[in-house]
Structure 1
């Protein structure tokens, strides 16, 4: 992604005698701060896309308060995954596919193919979600809404300083989405005590559900979205480890709060006896039941914001894996590839007949199956190819946590393959 606003990445040279240095330093600090926030919110809004919102409504209808346990697991896995992946990528200054190739020749190409294919599937779902959001907001046909939303995303990547535009869009959009969802949560009056209890002591545990929700919040491209954005902003090297850790943890806290708030908003509706149509637009039903016509419009805004930011995140991150195949895919050329990625996603969405809600649940499951493959590669790097991470000693406790997360994601993926693909025939 071309973005000259984030350069230079090294400390500024001393200004000539008499030149005002302070404004230049302030501009650099402001750009750096915005890039960190941009990476944080790119990961957060990608993790709280239309797929997650639809999955939350679907699974809350099916499991009730017990779904809180799935959200807790997703947050814990998120911490283990993101802190390892962000740290390794920014320590080396290399994208995930390049780092994987250095550690195990050829594995980076495999990872890139999986992420791009998973990102494409995800983006088809994101485009469908944008269409649903536009339908709830303005009553227009979802396919037309998807096309208009894709046009908005394309315009962002065609902007002269696309990187800076993306930073601002995802930060503002993420904050608006949180505020609107909190309003609906308050209006739905959820049983908070039962939700808190079942967060740690659930009545039931469903592996397919947890794998799908993990895939929709940290699987596939989402794992690498924030880290690759940090690389593009120049935040790399051991000197930035503390900033990277802070951004990763802050992003996970933001996504964790948003996930739980959204769950509580929908739980309040389900607990009141309302039955959501899980094959139609379950999240829209929940928001409408909580706040009537106003709630439906709020849902449209939240869903569209979640979708358009996820379209941006999926397209940007998927294309960021392509330079492993050709060094020419960088800068402005990468922006054009990103536009092409969005166009292909839109074309496939318009061509298929799968119901958007079903598609949004399915894509999370598929990316949950991809997640353990990438995690295994990174754990291999941490345990056996530590020299690639530089002279800084990599924390063993972080590798242990990441390895445990890898085992859990493999176990869930193996147990969830059948149920996930059964969604397409449901």
Structure 2
């Protein structure tokens, strides 16, 4: 279904307005979003995306609406998986908590620009060469296979080639200067580590686009739906990051669910490629009479896989234990880092979450305790944080009497 230029302009205007609103009312003033703030605005952005989808149903018909929601849900699920990598990048660079919003918004804007380029390029290729469906299908099957490999923090290291080249080519300071991109040190103007963080986020965004764009083209070839579903899946990602903070490690089966979804879409693309086949070495250049998977069935499969994998992760003892271990390591290092945040409420939240993680590991039964790696090291980190917390509170109580 063709979309009028007016609808394109209105949709682009809405997306740009939401990005501008996000910057001027949330990101411009550096602060740590509360859980309540993140939850409210996550619901707002999801609600806007759902209303837009209902508009697609109302004005574009059932097929268009189904394609939008299938694309939106798939892209949203992939973006949640990407948040884990963003978390590792910002942890490895020790980005102050107050400034993480700015990094995330930059990542969203860069991702939207990069994906837009890939979308229009992909659409042009698919309209010109039907055999590109084969390439997209094989690419998704390979990506699905890679997702089944064990993922570690080392496999997502922020010190990638782009960052190493940036460090060599550009003079950067060792420490952050608020959320500034440039600072002056000994009379010399140089970049801050904030630039390197944004380079790392941008580099990973490009890699993510190579996976996500073929996936959504496997669900619809309508460029308007591909673009808007991708854009609305990215909007609100900043709020979702802070809302899911501490739970990302718990979604231990999400990668398996996403692998299943990408493999399903890859198979769907290859079936479509066979149906549209014009390659001379396949069935003498004639189309192959195969069953094609409908968008409605795709939507049902995607929803079912995501619900099963998320629930399995949340109710898994292994998932809770893995989350506790990750929270202790991450929260202890953050709390002991004086430059991580100046927000005392945020420091207290980190401390309480670390205590909850410690108590979970202590309460584990003998069999579950076998899942805990380096328990003495984790308990020592908890002890260091408890001593630092007690010293800070003692100092606070003494000061008024001085």
Fold match (TM-score > 0.5): no
TM-score, normalised to structure 2, is 0.36
Whose Rg is larger?
Answer: 2
| Higher-RCO chain (CA-CA 8 Å, sequence separation at least 6) | 1
TM-score, normalised to structure 1, is 0.35
